[in-house]
A and B are shown apart, each in its own frame.
Chain A
Amino acid sequence: MAKVLEGPGMGLMKKWGIQVPNYVVVTSSEELAKLGQVNDWLKHSKLVVKAHEALGSRFKLGLVKVGLDLSGAVSAVQEMIGRQVGSITVSQVIVSEMIPHKEEYYCAVKSVREGGEILIANCGGIEVESNWDRVKRLLVEVGQQPSPEALEKVVKEAGFTGPLVKRMADFAGKLFACFDNEDAQYLEVNPVVAREGDGELVALDAVTLLDADAKFRHPDWNFSFAAEFGRAYTKNELDIMAIDSKIKGSVKFIEIPGGDTAMLPAGGGASVYYSDAVVARGGKLANYAEYSGDPPDWAVEALTEKVCGLPGIKNIIVGGAIANFTDVKKTFGGIINGFRKAKADGKLKGVKIWVRRGGPREKEGLDAMRALKDEGFDIEVFDRYTPLTDIVDKALTGK
């Protein structure tokens, strides 16, 4: 699931016939001033200025300004560009026209097992969040399209009347077409507003989550996906992501500040059980990590170095289930090299290493790990006869 920022998200909706406000994404106030000279709407409309970054609570941070004229917008852009919020620097700002309206509505499409589900409510903004029961749903099976009749029926159920019924049904139909054709996993427009004057429905804000796995069939997805992580990635995380993107198999690394138990487990499934075990035993995770799919040893070595470099750690959990085809000797070879490098760099002082693993060439791999004892490592090595997460119990409770 990959999040897309408002600008490209609105672009996709526009492509599928949904009315969106005029908008521009700029990287400097000068750019906006120049755009103002050629775009009449920038001169004549009231404007909304928002930081175009993957940031929550932008309003509270002063990164949303409304009701500005062009010169006000230019200075707002100047103010926002370069603002530092945590590890994110604001580098883009989206400027859109304000749409005068009275009523706000809600429309979304979400992915469900059977296909897609259209969600409609005749209230919008914060109101819909506190009145979730007013949301009416229409399930559309995968491969099917919603009929105009079915759409009108659910729109009526949601409380729309008069000419709005057809308009809202039409809007929902277009949003579904966008969802279906763009391999979206979630599209939400909140609010949908009826523009004063012509009464046309306009999408004022867009949440767009796309299926990153489908990128191969969308050559026009020329935007990058936003971090949907609650924060920007750290340099160490980006380093490992860069390796992950170019190898067979995978390596993953996420830092969690303040933890004392470092994780270096194998497998997307087992890694979470290991993390659960640490939390259950009262430990504090210093990171999440995972390697799987028989990755090359150098990639595992790079991951190991990152894990060993985590500050304030007391234990490293080199856990893993019984592998199907990941070569234990080879991947452990990478881990061992990483440990040796870390030790040579003066790391791993007072850190205890716990190993448990099975799979192809498990004996050779585990023997190589055991031999690290002779090199002065504080390491305990267990094989398949020790249950998966018992090394966490041993590490954290001394049992």
Chain B
Amino acid sequence: MSILANKDTRVVIQGGQAGVNAARRMAEFCYLIKRPLNVEAFVYPPDAGKTNEIPYGSGLIAVPVYATIAEATKHHPTINTSLVYIGADRAMKAGMEALDDPHIQLVSMITEGVPEKDAKLLGAHARKLGKVFNGPSSIGIISAGACRLGVIGGAFDNLVLSKLYREGSFGVITKSGGLSNEIIWICSQFADGITTAIGIGGDAYPGTDYVTYLEMFENDPQTKAVVIVGEMGGDLEERAAEWYGAKKRRIKLIGVVSGFCQESLPKGMKFGHAGAKEGMKGEGSARSKSEALQRAGAIVPPTFGALGPAIKEVYQELLKSGQVKEIVEPTSLPKLPKTVEEAMKADEVIVTPLIRTTISDDRGDEPCYDGYPASELINKGYEIPHVIGLLWDKRLISKQEAEIIKRIIMLSADHGPCVSGAFATILAACAGIGMSQAVAAGLIMIGPRFGGAVTDAGRWFKYAVDNKMSVDEFLAYMKKNVGPVPGIGHRVKSLRNPDKRVKELVAYVKSLNINTPCLDFALQVEQVTAAKKDNLILNVDGTMAAVLVDLGFPVDSLNGFFILSRTIGLIGHWVDQKRQDSRLIRLFDYLVNYAAPKRREVPPLK
């Protein structure tokens, strides 16, 4: 048996993320003791109508969130306990709401920093209703083998090490949440473990004090002894001593109190929990408390270190008198499934990767491009074209190559508002569309007729050069198999009205005295085609393509140079329209040739 929390305890958790974290811990315990999850519902108005996913074993349980306690208990009438994880300023309202629900018998408040008056009101209200209000600042309540409320008990491994999967003979009541696991652990190492451990919270006036719980333990036949872990301040330990000494009790009481160091500290210096700082005019010292406990017949070890042996001694007596029997531990216990990460770390699983990358790694303190840390590239004078070289062609390009790429980007960054890409972006910007979508609208225009011929131009020029074709052979091949030569021809530019960007780029590349077979071939093609028709000149796509193929960039990356460059312009156009707060635009009907059929009568539907 146990007190307060048992196998029939069904819980509603009032609160958000902190409550969800507690539910996860509670689910781990339920899994260990092979019981269904004891959390039925959450109450948290901001998330009402949603569900919280709680891992249980290797699965997930969806626990509904409600706006009120009444809704939660209406849908889950077995709920009899509430855990409050609501902020200190709203904690009292939440606690009262739970206490006032007829289904709920126990409310345990985890919230810290709750005003003292609120805690007293909650405690008094619970007593009036014959219910239990535990906390505030409670770490939780755990009954071995039966029920866990809150995070008390700690991590899964600790639950197993502390033998919380089955009940022992010792009750625990502690103000300190941090020490609760320690005492549970000590009970499991020096004796047969616990029945129930309760964190009552370190505040000055906890809703329920030692005496109420001692009374419950006294009436729980499984509990043979109770360990209380006290602190200086207040009079809770003295009241416990008074209760214990008032008449012959069935349970043995073991108590430790902290705060003896106070005697040797400068006057006025106090520390520890709020409750430890409370206490005026000398009352509530550690010494007076431990003396009161001793006088009442409790076992009071002189130091915390002596607690384990004291518990052991009590356990040995219980064994000898036959009140308890040695427990045979189960041979196997459920193991908490590992996460994939944990299992991989332990070399227990092989995972087939979903994707493979050969260019970039983000797992350190900064990204590495093809293995080179970004900051080192910056500090050693590398620039954006080098990053493009690393990420697009996996090689560290030369200064000269970088300069060519820089010029390509600068030359094709923008080409005014009229071209399809910029126009689409402007149209979208005027319709109030956000940057990424509007710029994407412009990028979508890049294709065979606008800016998207770089890759194809590069492919065919390279094909000709690789196959040592003459210009005539190439043009004949293209005419037969492909169509117009990509990279040749311009809508407005011509031999007499040349494209300055092309002249500039060609002049620069030629000035470097590097081997440029593709560019040379492309220029020869231009001579032939332009002679046939004035505007069949080598355009900017074709020029870029030939140069980039000569630099060794893969054909499939070539359109990227135009896309990248033009993105600069598209972003500019979007920001420009935004800055002007441009209005929605639509075509004027006089700009449309309405070639649709004239208005006519709709025939009856057949």
Interface membership of A100, Cβ < 8 A: no
B272 touches A359 (CB 8 A): no
For B115, the chain A residues whose CB sits under 8 A away are 183, 211, 213-214, 217
A324 touches B180 (CB 8 A): yes
Q: Counting CB contacts under 8 A, is A321 at the interface?
A: yes
Q: Residues of A at under 8 Å CB distance from B?
A: 1, 110-111, 113-115, 141-143, 180, 183, 185-186, 211, 213-214, 216-217, 228-231, 252, 254, 256, 266-273, 275-280, 285, 288, 290, 292, 320-325, 358-361, 384-385, 387-390, 393
Contact B178 A266 (CB under 8 A): yes
* Closest-CB distance, A80 to chain B (whole angstroms): 22
In the complex, what residues of A have CB within 8 A of residue B256's CB?
273
**A252-B265 in contact (CB<8A):** no
The chain B residue with its CB closest to the CB of A215 is: B115
Of B189, B258, B270, the contact of A276 (CB 8 Å cutoff): B258
Distance in angstroms between the alpha carbons of A270 and B181 in the assembled complex = 11
What count of chain B residues pass the 8 Å CB interface test?
Answer: 69
Whose C-beta in chain A lies nearest to the C-beta of B267? A230
Interface stretch among B302-310, B485-493, B535-543, B560-568?
B302-310
B318 located at the interface, meaning its Cβ lies under 8 Å from any Cβ of chain A in the complex = no
Query: Shortest CB–CB separation between residue B262 and chain A, in angstroms?
Result: 9
Stretch at the interface among B116-124, B328-336, B377-385, B462-470: B116-124
With a CB–CB cut-off of 8 A, which chain A residues contact B155? 359-361
Contact B181 A358 (CB under 8 A): yes
Whole-angstrom CA separation of A1 from B21 in the bound complex: 30
- A267 to B272 Cα, complex, angstroms: 9
- Report whether B154 and A323 are in contact in the complex, using a CB–CB cutoff of 8 Å: yes
B146 at the interface (CB under 8 A from A): no
Contact indicator per residue, chain B 155-185, by CB within 8 Å of chain A (1) or not (0): 1001001000000000000111111111001
Report yes or no: A256 in contact with B182, Cβ–Cβ below 8 A.
no
The winner among A111, A142, A320, A359 for most chain B CB atoms within 10 A is A142
CB closest residue in chain A, given B199: A324
Name the residue on B nearest A284 (C-beta). B264
Let me know if A322 and B181 touch, CB within 8 A.
Answer: yes
Of B31-39, B274-282, B414-422, the one touching chain A: B274-282
Complex partner residue of B269 from A229, A266, A323, CB under 8 angstroms: A229
Give me 13 other A-B pairs in contact (C-beta within 8 A), A1-B277, A113-B120, A142-B117 excluded.
A142-B120, A185-B204, A216-B88, A230-B269, A269-B174, A269-B177, A269-B231, A270-B182, A272-B276, A322-B154, A325-B25, A359-B154, A387-B304
CB distance from B242 to the nearest CB of A (A): 14
Q: In the bound complex, do residue B185 and residue A275 qualify as a contact, i.e. CB atoms below 8 Å apart? A: no
Contacting pair B181 A389 (CB below 8 A): no
Cα separation A132 to B6 with both chains bound (whole Å): 48
Q: Report the minimal beta-carbon distance from A53 to chain B, rounded to whole angstroms.
A: 15
With known contacts A271-B272, A272-B272, A322-B154, A111–B116 Cβ distance under 8 A: yes
CA gap between A72 and B176 in the complex, in Å: 54
Residues on B with beta carbons closer than 8 Å to the beta carbon of A288: 269, 271
Which has the most chain A C-beta neighbours within 10 Å: B179, B209, B232? B179
Q: Which residues from chain A contact B19 at a C-beta distance below 8 Å?
A: none
Interface string of B378-396 (1 = CB under 8 A from A): 0000000000000000000
Q: How far is the CA of A105 from the CA of B576 in the complex (A)?
A: 79
Separation in Å of the B176 CB from the closest CB of chain A?
Answer: 2
B124 and A142 within 8 A (CB): yes
Task: Name which of A110, A266, A276 has the most chain B CB atoms within 10 A of its CB.
Answer: A276
B residues 232-279 touching A (CB-CB < 8 Å): 232, 235, 256, 258-261, 263-274, 276-278
Which residues of chain A are within 8 angstroms of B120 by Cβ–Cβ distance?
A: 113-115, 142
Q: Which residues of chain B are within 8 angstroms of A384 by Cβ–Cβ distance?
A: 161, 185
CB-based contact A323/B181 at 8 Å: yes
Contact (Cβ within 8 A) A269 B261: no
**CB-based contact A322/B305 at 8 Å:** no
Q: Which residues on B sit within 8 Å (CB–CB) of A252? A: 271
Given the complex of chains A and B, what is the CA–CA distance between A111 and B124 in angstroms?
14
Q: Are A278 and B261 in contact (CB under 8 A)?
A: yes
Q: What's the least CB distance linking B162 to chain A, in Å?
A: 8
**CB distance B305 to A213 under 8 Å?**
no
Chain B residues with CB below 8 A from A213, complex form: 88, 113-116, 274
Are the C-beta atoms of A358 and B185 separated by less than 8 Å?
Answer: yes
